[in-house]
Amino acid sequence: MESINPATGATLETYPEHDDAQIEARLAASHDAARSWAEVPFAERADVLRAVAEQLDAQLESLATLMVREMGKPITQAIAEVHKCALVCRFFADHAESFLADEPVDVGDEADAFVTYRPLGVVLAILPWNFPLWQAFRFVAPALMAGNAVVVKPAPNVLGCGFAVERLLREAGVPEGLVPVVAVCNERVEPIIRDDRIAAVTLTGSDRAGKAVAAIAGSELKKVVLELGGSDPYVVLADADLDLAVAATVRSRLNNGGQSCIGAKRIIVEEPVAEAFAEKLRTRLCAVDYGDPMSPDTELGPMARADLRETVHAQVLRCVEAGARLELGGEVPEEEGFWYPLTLLTGVTQESPAFREEIFGPVFAMCIARDPEHALELANASDFGLGAAVFTSNPAGGTDIAKRELRAGSCFVNAFVRSDPRLPFGGIKRSGYGRELSRHGILEFVNTKTVWVQR
């Protein structure tokens, strides 16, 4: 299992895959650790999570650099990711006890009753490569505060980040065995899911992976939370502030080199302002700083893997064959590494791959809508439903659209879609089910238990 620098194509590290005995040892250790951790008071769990946040702060530079080297994200974005990991640890350290406090229920004079929340045990977290630290900590923090243990399965190309998470947690005082990492290929995950010591599973990944994991876990009657792909629509109405809409769209799509589930995938612009929007968008894209991901000025670095670049390029070519106009980019450079230029497609229709599929790379796809009703029809004409945004000078109208019309798990008005520890995050349709973050996220992996005491 290799870690490869996307900027150069050079191998950084080769990791041996864990054998069956090593996996067994990690599962046994997590199972034992879970039983004692479940009885640790909230205040002590919170102290550990705050120590984790302090370690993240202390190791900021090295962790950010590791992410740049393993998956190519620009250093400024990597630094922001580490900060966000510390934020989510502190958030759940501060709020988990109130989120999981016993809830009395009035059942009359004959008995006392309440709802209590208890940990499930060991949860398997199958993680992606695109946010190798954030995806880990956004689940580990609430899971630990809920009293669970977590077995972490990182993506094979970012194992260095996975082992860095494991080391950092130990250095912060997380008990031995509570959050072990298993280094296995995807084909060897099924036996781990089926293991009786695994109580539940969470996956962030493609809808194809989600279906496979859900089928396996379902056959064992195990709870699953799935955060899958997205094809987020950004709806720009005729009365929108176009400069604001362009800035938000570009920031969203450039995040992580376009390799984000909540990137602005389908830009749907109302016809009266389509030409003006396209011109502003082209101007902004031509000014993007593209190059060395370790430079603080870089906005777009390489893609994470060669196969991912091949997939994106093939999708772009099929979009052009389907009638889209290639305004910028769309050519694979000859230099070493997994570089792909910022690409703009206009004239995209519902028949285009850019509309029907998720393009996981630095590709902007612009569609034109006849009127607001047509724009919302296009926005919802997708098998995905993770995030969506609408831009309008009428905040009340935009709020109504976000609340009632857009079919997605997170809907933003005059802003780009993002995750926040205070808010639930997740999707509908092929974007998965269940929620992460906030009180809704921590409740996903607890036993919501009724207790009735007869008087």
CA distances from 273 to 164, 286, 352, 389 (A): 48, 20, 22, 17
Based on the residue annotation, tell me whether 261 is a catalytic residue of this protein. Answer: yes
Give the separation between CA 421 and CA 87, rounded to whole angstroms.
Answer: 8
Name the nearest CA neighbour of 301 among 311, 310, 289, 312: 289
Exposure b/e, 11-47, CB count within 10 A at least 16 = b: eeeeeeebeeeebeebbebbbbbbeebeeeebeebbe
Active-site entry in 85, 89, 161, 261: 261
Residue 81 appears among annotated catalytic residues: no
- The catalytic residue among 227, 299, 357, 436 is 227
Residue 61 DSSP SS3: helix
CA distance 354 to 356: 6
CA distance 133 to 251: 20
- The Cα 131–Cα 419 span in angstroms is 12
Q: Is there a contact between 71 and 158 (Cβ–Cβ < 8 Å)?
A: yes
In sequence order, what are the residues at sequence separation of 6 or more whose Cβ sits closer than 8 angstroms to the Cβ of residue 108?
Answer: none
Going by DSSP bridges, is the β-strand pair 111-119/446-454 parallel, antiparallel, or unpaired? antiparallel
Task: Say if CB 155 and CB 3 are below 8 A apart.
Answer: no
Q: Which two tokens stand for residue 79?
A: 């630094």
- What are the backbone dihedrals phi and psi of residue 239, each rounded to the nearest 5 degrees, phi first? -95, 10
Longest dimension (CA), the chain: 78
Strands 432-433 and 223-227: antiparallel
The contacts of residue 6 (CB under 8 Å, 6+ apart) are 71, 72, 301, 302, 303, 304, 305, 337, 338
Q: Are 427 and 384 in contact (CB under 8 A)?
A: yes
CA 259 to chain centre: 10
Concatenated DSSP letters of 336-375: SS-----EEEES--TTSHHHHS---SSEEEEEEESSHHHH
Q: Are 142 and 422 in contact (CB under 8 A)?
A: no
Count of other CB atoms within 10 angstroms of residue 293? 26
Q: Catalytic residues, which ones?
A: 227, 261
